[in-house]
Structure 1
Amino acid sequence: MSDRAETLPEFPAWPQYDDAERTALIRALEQGQWWRMGGNEVNSFEEEFARANGADYALAVTNGTHALELALQILGVGPGTEVIVPAFTFISSSQAAQRLGATAVPVDVTPDTYCLDIAATEAALTDRTRAIMPVHMAGHLTDMDALGKLAGDAGVAVVQDAAHAQLAEWRGTKVGALGSVAAFSFQNGKLMTAGEGGAVTFPDNDTYQEAFLRHSCGRPKTDRRYFHQTSGSNFRLNEFSAAVLRAQLDRLPGQVATREERAPLLASLLADIPGVEPQARDERVTLNPHYMAMFRIPGITEEKRNTLVDDLIARGLPAFVAFRAIYRSDGFWETGAPDLTVDDLARACPVTEAITADCVWLHHRTLLGTEDDMHTIARIVRAAVAEL
């Protein structure tokens, strides 16, 4: 039987939902208060999400981009400051800084985990650097030991872009307990979702309190007379989204456990395919929630990679091209870009340049399949790669 004719796994649909979400939505509806200041869902979700991720405090917000923007703002990012970001990431990582008037400084990533390169980060530090933003790519945590030392020695804040990393752990410590602010996304494709949504976790009460003010137009919880204590915007999450997210959070640990079982098997099978290199794993990452199953085919052209993704989709796999280097999008250059050219940044970020062309990812719902499904996925990838 050919691979094109092979019976495909019935991967779970995404998003996943059942009566838990239905019940939650009705609960939010019938409480009669649909915004966070009068209802119970957002407050309850924040407590549950903080606890699940080891954080002292969590603040639910409208989306992951706003989560990053708010996190940077409370740490003093603004005009005249710089934020170091990976060149290989979704563009929200840089735009969150740029929208605050800061300059986003892209640096290269490692060729195996696709996370922030610490040596490149150190080389990019200046007296204007206010924050470093590691992106935990596909759920794999950045080297938080080296980054923590670098940031501590330089007196620079760390803002974790944990959009892919709900429940992740470094050396047994949960992502929200690593001593820095972390921002999460609940967009439709993320590991838990309400269509949109986000959260920020905090290691201390002071930053949480300031973030609360700024996410609610500068207005304290108890204000009835419009005394706005800071500038801000309306980043408040609604009660319906929070109710759905509570159900999604309950389901998440079981899903993560399944993906942790399947991912090593799939990675080993993919690694046996000539030319294919799956994303590596640092042994200090003691829990990876696996936002995506990523692999590279070093040396392939971007055109052939795109053809491969189309072929995988045609064969029934939910495949995607990886992110483009942020400096290769026009939106990056609109405001808050460094005084460099695309070519300058490309020379400084050779790994990102390669990954832009040769990296593929498979939707994380594939990792919720059976062990047999992992073998089927690998056979399909092998056949598609062989036809390049």
Structure 2
Amino acid sequence: MSGNRQPLELPQWPQYGDEERAGLIRALEQGQWWRMGGSEVDSFEREFAAFHGAEYALAVTNGTHALELALQVLGVGPGTEVIVPAFTFISSSQAAQRLGAVAVPVDVDPETYCLDIAATEAAITPRTKAIMPVHMAGHFPDMDALAKLAADKGIEIVQDACHGQGGEWQGRGYGELGSVAAFSFQNGKLMTAGEGGLVLFPNRELYEEAFLRHSCGRPRTDRKYFHQTSGSNFRMNEFSASVLRAQLGRYPAQLATRQERAELLGSLLAEIPGVVPQKHDPRVTSHPHYMQMFRIPGMAEEKRNELVDKLIERGLPAFIAFRAIYRSDGFWETGAPDETLEQVAARCPNTEAINNDAIWLHHRTLLATPEQIHQVAEIVADTLAEA
């Protein structure tokens, strides 16, 4: 392929413009900088909910808190279990563990890297309160099979959609799938205010309880410090919401670009010997493409890590895959299953493989020109050939 050794100049992230500047000034000059007196958070919640086909949205401090709050209002706590993918960012499990629940890792599908339905069913016990499918890199697990399993077993679903604003399963947004969904607006996410999160709720009852708990258990109009529930301060501020409103405004165009570029890059990567791109279910009708993920099956973890370093040297925003959650010490500190690490790993062979040989490229890669996308594939091919 190409012999060009110059680092590739890709679009930067975060992206911003006059819309964010105007929003920040608007929030500044309204004279109220927190959600109880301002209008930016309320407006952002309405706009984000409408974009995802939901009626109820609650903006919070970050994606980890979004997951924790979602689980809490569904009754997750001491004595309960939450099934989570073994391959995910550790916030998915820690949100349950922080509530005193046990996080039970299960294996993922080897093609989508999302929750494996058969493994999920096998992990259900009388203590299972919720299942947390993670939309890994914007991909979906089999949401139809998962919904049926949860309904048959009387178990709640909490969608970890922190990778996936704008995703649709068979034409339905996250808010139309009948379950709670949590999002992140951390600096690297598809929409960002540096930090931030949000939860979509399928009914008003859950939304109202979550509102209380995200504001220290205090009702909106309380003036006597009468706190109706326990809770914490998970409130989003007005400045973050103003930035996110601007980010949402340009989001549809970015989403369309990423979907086009991901199809191109995926096809080019698939032509490289030894490279296997992440696949998505054909029932996904809108794909956010938070990452462009691919595996090099059989590559040892250390060799994979060296390859990532070389890709970075060539200008690609490349990263090693998330470590399997049970391979971090933090997972075992509290709320871990009554198993050894080796026992969990033995029932998660797909996660073990992905842990060692998967690579992801930041989504700003997918905002590049078609010519640059070809250059990205050439760099991957050249670097792999030299490895």
Regarding TM over 0.5, the answer is yes
Alignment of 1:64-143 (within 5 A): 64-143=63-142
Tell me the distance in 2 between the aligned counterparts of 1:318 and 1:100: 35
Q: CA-to-partner distance for each residue in 1:261-316, whole Å, 9 max, x for gaps?
A: 11111001000000000010110000111000000000000001001100000111
The residue type equivalent to 1:263 in the other structure is: A
The residue type equivalent to 1:178 in the other structure is: L
Residue 232 of structure 1 is matched in structure 2 by 231
Indicate if the aligned counterparts of 1:186 and 1:194 stay in contact, CA closer than 8 A.
yes
Tell me the distance in 2 between the aligned counterparts of 1:135 and 1:216: 26
Tell me the distance in 1 between the aligned counterparts of 2:2 and 2:135: 37
Alignment of 1:1-388 (within 5 A): 3-6=3-6, 8=8, 10-388=9-387
Tell me the distance in 1 between the aligned counterparts of 2:75 and 2:298: 41
Q: TM-score, normalised by structure 2?
A: 0.99
Tell me the distance in 2 between the aligned counterparts of 1:176 and 1:190: 19
Moved over 3 A (4+): 1-4
Indicate if the aligned counterparts of 2:27 and 2:33 stay in contact, CA closer than 8 A.
yes
The residue type equivalent to 1:82 in the other structure is: E
Indicate if the aligned counterparts of 1:3 and 1:379 stay in contact, CA closer than 8 A.
no
Q: How much does 1:4 deviate?
A: 4.8
Tell me the distance in 2 between the aligned counterparts of 1:149 and 1:85: 17
Q: How much does 1:45 deviate?
A: 0.4
Q: CA-to-partner distance for each residue in 1:197-242, whole Å, 9 max, x for gaps?
A: 0000001000000000000000111111111111100000000000
Tell me the distance in 1 between the aligned counterparts of 2:247 and 2:266: 26
Q: How much does 1:373 deviate?
A: 1.2
Indicate if the aligned counterparts of 1:115 and 1:142 stay in contact, CA closer than 8 A.
yes
Q: How much does 1:7 deviate?
A: 6.6
Indicate if the aligned counterparts of 1:15 and 1:193 stay in contact, CA closer than 8 A.
yes
Q: TM-score, normalised by structure 1?
A: 0.99
> How many pairs does the alignment contain?
387
Q: How much does 1:6 deviate?
A: 4.7
Q: RMSD of aligned C-alpha atoms?
A: 0.9
Tell me the distance in 2 between the aligned counterparts of 1:317 and 1:62: 30
- Taking only the aligned residue pairs, the percentage that are identical comes to 74
Say which SS state the counterpart of residue 38 (structure 2) adopts: coil
The residue type equivalent to 1:31 in the other structure is: Q
Tell me the distance in 1 between the aligned counterparts of 2:72 and 2:147: 20
Tell me the distance in 1 between the aligned counterparts of 2:56 and 2:245: 16
Tell me the distance in 1 between the aligned counterparts of 2:62 and 2:122: 32
Indicate if the aligned counterparts of 1:302 and 1:357 stay in contact, CA closer than 8 A.
yes
Say which SS state the counterpart of residue 361 (structure 1) adopts: strand
Q: Unmatched 5+ residue regions in structure 1?
A: none
The residue type equivalent to 2:292 in the other structure is: A
Tell me the distance in 2 between the aligned counterparts of 1:17 and 1:268: 30
Q: CA-to-partner distance for each residue in 1:70-118, whole Å, 9 max, x for gaps?
A: 0000000000000000000000000000000000000000000000000
Tell me the distance in 2 between the aligned counterparts of 1:2 and 1:115: 34
Q: Unmatched 5+ residue regions in structure 2?
A: none
Q: How much does 1:2 deviate?
A: 5.3
Indicate if the aligned counterparts of 2:74 and 2:156 stay in contact, CA closer than 8 A.
yes
Q: How much does 1:56 deviate?
A: 1.0
Q: How much does 1:5 deviate?
A: 2.1
Indicate if the aligned counterparts of 2:85 and 2:115 stay in contact, CA closer than 8 A.
yes
Indicate if the aligned counterparts of 1:53 and 1:176 stay in contact, CA closer than 8 A.
yes
Indicate if the aligned counterparts of 1:162 and 1:183 stay in contact, CA closer than 8 A.
yes
Tell me the distance in 2 between the aligned counterparts of 1:348 and 1:371: 41
